[in-house]
Amino acid sequence: MASPTIKRGKRHSSGKSISVAGMSFLGRRCAAWVMEVYLVAISGLVPYSIAVYIESHSSSQRVPLHPVLAKVEEEVAQTLALPQGENPRQVPPLTNVFLGLALAMPLAVTGWQLYILTRTGRTLPKRWLKIRVISTSGRTPSGLQILLREGVGKWGLPLSIAYLLWRYSALFPNGGLLLGLSGVMILLEGGLLLLSPRRRSLHDQIADTVVIDTRHSLRNGSRANRNPQSPNRPSVTVEVPSDYAAYTRDNGNSHHAEPVRAIVLSPSLEEPQANLWLWMRRHPGTTLLVIALAGMTVILATFVGTQVYIQSKTDQRESQQQQNQEFQFLVTQLAATSPDPLEQRKSVILALARNEDPRAIALLVDLLGQETNLSVIDTLQQAFASVGTRALPALRQLNQSLSQQLQSLNDQNSQEYQLTAWRLRATKQAIAKIFLLHNGQLSQVNLTRIDLNQEINEMAPFTLVGEQLNLAGINLENALLNGARLGGSIFSSAGKDKYDDTSDDLRANLRGTNLVQADLTDAFLSGVVLERANLSQANLKGANLSQAQLKQANLSSADLLSANLQQASLEAASLTGANLTGVQLNKANLEKANLGQIKAARADFSEANLIQSNWQNSDLSAVNFSGANLQQTDLSSSFLKGANFRNAKLENANLAYSNLSQADLRGANLAGANFLGVSFFNPETSRSDNFLKAPVNDQSAAIVQGVDFSEVKNLSSSQIVFICQKGGIHPQCNLK
C-alpha cells in the first residue's frame, strides 16, 4: 500500500507585515504595546495640536467653547488638579472642530482596536508582530475577557492605584509626578510576566488569557484556531520524522519511505461554556424560587418607593400651601389699616423677609422701588439683609435700575432725585450687610455692574466697608467700587483640595471694575483677573498681586509700596506716578506699560517682560532689572543709581540723560541703545559734558567691565574714555 504523501502548501499572508527576524517574543510583545499606545496618542495629539495652533494664530471672530468640550475640559481639570481659566473660553470656530476630533478620534481608534481584538485576538500591531491573545482554553477571548484584560488589568488597576497614591499623598498636585507614578505602576503590572512560568502578566491572569507566538505556527494548526465553533471536533496529530525530507530525496521512491510514524486521534478536552438556560432546566425548583423571590422584591420595592414619593410630594404640597397662606395674609396686612399703620407696615415687611415663598423677595423689591417714607426704606434694607444671599440677584437688578435712574435725573434738589438716591443707598447697605453676615459664602455670587460707589454727600452717604472680607470667587466684573475700604480682604483662595493653582481655586473676577481711590491694603489678589480695572490712586500697600491679570489696567498714582506682583501680567497697563517702592515684579509682563514718573526704588523686575514700556522721569534707584527684557524701552531722564542690569536686554532702549551711577551693566545687550547725555557716576553733579570729563570716583561709577558698547548710539568722547578706562568694549578703545 502506497504511503500517503504530505503536500507542503505555501503559506499566504495578507495585510501589513513587519519583519520580526531577530526579535524575541518578549520584545515583540513590548513593541506591540508601545505601538498600540502610539496609535491612540497620535490620533488625539494631531488634531489637538492643530486646534492649539489655530487658537493662537487665528484672527477670526471668537465663539464660546462647545458645551461638551467645556464640560470635558472642566472634568479633566478637576480630576488632574489643573488650573482652569475663563469659562466659557472664547475660541475660533475651527478650534471647536479640531478639539472635537481630538476627543473623538482616540475613542474611535480604541474602540476599533478592542473590537478586532475580540474578533481575532489580535490588534493591528499584534498582527504585524505575529503575536496573538487567546483564552487558556485555546479560543479567541470573549468580550468580557477583553474588557477585564484591557480595561481592568492593563489600564484600570495600575492607573487607579497611581492616582490614589498621588491624590492622597504629598505628591499632589504635581502633575508630572502623577505621570511618572502612572508609568511605574504600568511597568510593574506588565513586569509581573517575568515572574510567571508561562510569561503571563497580571492582566492576562485576571482575564484568563495567554499571549502566544504565531510566527512558527503550522498551517493546519492555524486552521484549527480559526474554527473555534467546533468544540467536539477531534484533533489529529501527525508525527513526521525529522529526516523525512532527506530520506525521500536520497531513496527516490516513495514506497521505500516511512513518512508517517503515528496518527493519533483524540477528542477535544475543552470544558463546555456555562449555559444559564441549561442550568435552569436542570434545577427547575431553585429557578422557580429565585424568580418568585425576585418578583416579590420588585413589587415590595415599587410599593415602598411609591409610598415614599407620594408622602414627600404631600409634605411638599402642604408646605407650599402653608407658605402661600402666610404670604397672602401678609399681603393683606400691608393693605389693612391700624392705629399705627407705619409700625404695622414695618413689622409686615420684616415678616415677609422670613417667609420662604419666592414671591416675597419680588414683593420686597417692588416695595423698595416705590416707597417714599425714609424709615420704611431703612426697614426694607434690613429685610433684604436678613434674607441673605438669596436676595442678591433681585437686589442687583434693582441696584442697577436705580443707578441708571439717578444718572438720568438732573435736578439734585428735587424730591424724586433724593428718594431715588435714598433707595439706591438702601440696596448698597443691604448688599454690604450680606457681605459681612455671609462672609466666605459668596464664591458663586454674580454682582456684575453693581453700583457700590462711595457717596460722600449728606443726603445719602455710603462707603463700602468690608475689611478682611473673604470675597474669593465673587463676580464683580465692571462693578463700581470707588472708595471701597477692603483692606486685608481675600479675593483668591484654594478650593476644597487646599492647594493653589488647581482647578477648584476660587478667584474673584474684577475685570473692568472701578476701584478708584479704593483701600486694598494687604489685600490678597493673587491670580485675580483685573484686566481693564481702574485702580488709579488706589492704596495697594503690601497687597499680593502675584500672577494677577492686569492687562490694560489703570494703576496711575496708585500706592504699591512693598506690593507683590511676581509673574503678574501688566501688558499695556498704566502706572504713571505709581509708587512701586520695594515691589516684587520679577517675571511680570509689563509690555507696552506706561510707568512714567513712578517711584520704584529697590523694586524687583528681574526676568520681567518690559518691551516698549515707558519709564520716563522715574525713580528707579537700586532696581533689579537682571535678565529683564527692556528692548525699545524708554528710560530717559530716569534715576537709575545702583540699578542692576546684568544680562538684561536693552537693544534700542532710550537711556538719554538717565543717571547710571553705580549701575551694573555687565552682560547687558546694548545694541542700538541711546546713551545721549548718560551719567556714569557722581549723581549729585549736573549731566553736562564737562562733568563727564571730571575725575572718576570708583565707588560711584557704573560697572561696565566687559560690556560691549560698539553699537551704542550718541556716545560722547568723554563717555568713551570712561568706558575704555573701566574695561568696557568699544572700537575706539583700541586706538592709541
- The model's pLDDT over 255-309, given as tens digits with 9 standing for 90+, comes to 444 454 555 444 444 445 556 777 887 888 888 888 888 888 888 888 888 888 8
Domain ranges of the chain: 25-213
Residue 487: C-alpha distances to residues 156, 425, 491, 523, 541 (Å): 49, 22, 11, 6, 9
Residue type at 21 in one-letter notation: A
Cell numbers 560697572 label which residue?
Answer: 703
Taking the alpha carbons of 407, 413, 419, 422 in that order, is the dihedral positive or negative? positive
Percent of the chain with pLDDT over 70: 84
The C-alpha cell at 326 is: 402666610
Q: Where are the beta strands (DSSP E) in 562-650?
A: none
* CB 507, CB 490: distance < 8 Å: no
DSSP calls for 372-383? --HHHHHHHHHH
312-369 pLDDT, tens digit per residue, is 888 878 777 777 777 777 777 766 655 567 888 888 888 888 888 888 888 888 888 8
Kind and range of the H or E element at 133?
Answer: strand 131-135
Per-residue cell: 52? 492649539
86 φ/ψ sector (left φ>0, alpha ψ -120 to 50, else beta): beta
Report phi then psi at 518, rounded to 5.
-75, 150
Tell whether pTM > 0.85. Answer: no
Confidence at 249, pLDDT banded by 50, 70, 90:
very low
Mean of pLDDT over the chain: 81
Q: Of 612, 702, 613, 716, which Cα lies nearest the Cα of 666?
A: 702
- What amino acid is encoded at 111 in this protein? G
State the Cα–Cα distance between residues 522 and 539, nearest whole angstrom. Answer: 9
Q: Letter for the amino acid at 142?
A: S
Pure H helices in 563-609: none
Q: Which of 363, 306, 302 is nearest to 332 (CA)?
A: 363
Q: How many CB atoms lie within 10 A of CB 212?
A: 16
Residues 708-714, mean pLDDT to the nearest whole number: 93
**C-alpha to C-alpha distance for 686 and 337, rounded to whole angstroms:** 85
CA nearest neighbour of 51 among 71, 36, 65:
65
pLDDT at 242: 42
Evaluate if residue 446 carries a pLDDT over 50.
yes
Q: Are 466 and 489 in contact (CB under 8 A)?
A: yes
Band of the pLDDT at 478, cuts 50, 70, 90?
very high
Residue 728 grid cell: 568696557
Q: What is the DSSP letter of 541?
A: T
Burial of 552 (0-12, 13-18, 19+ CB in 10 A): middle
- Per-residue confidence (pLDDT) for residue 340, from 0 to 100: 62
The candidate with the shortest Cα–Cα distance to 668, out of 630, 639, 638, 637, is 630
Which among 617, 512, 523 is positioned nearest to 565, based on CA atoms?
523
**How many whole angstroms separate alpha carbon 578 and alpha carbon 599?**
6
Read off the pLDDT of each residue in 8-27 and give the average, rounded to a whole number: 57
Which tens digits make up the pLDDT trace of 666-699? 999 999 999 999 999 875 544 444 444 445 456 7
Mean pLDDT of 462-487: 92
Query: How far apart are alpha carbons 608 and 528 in whole angstroms?
Result: 19
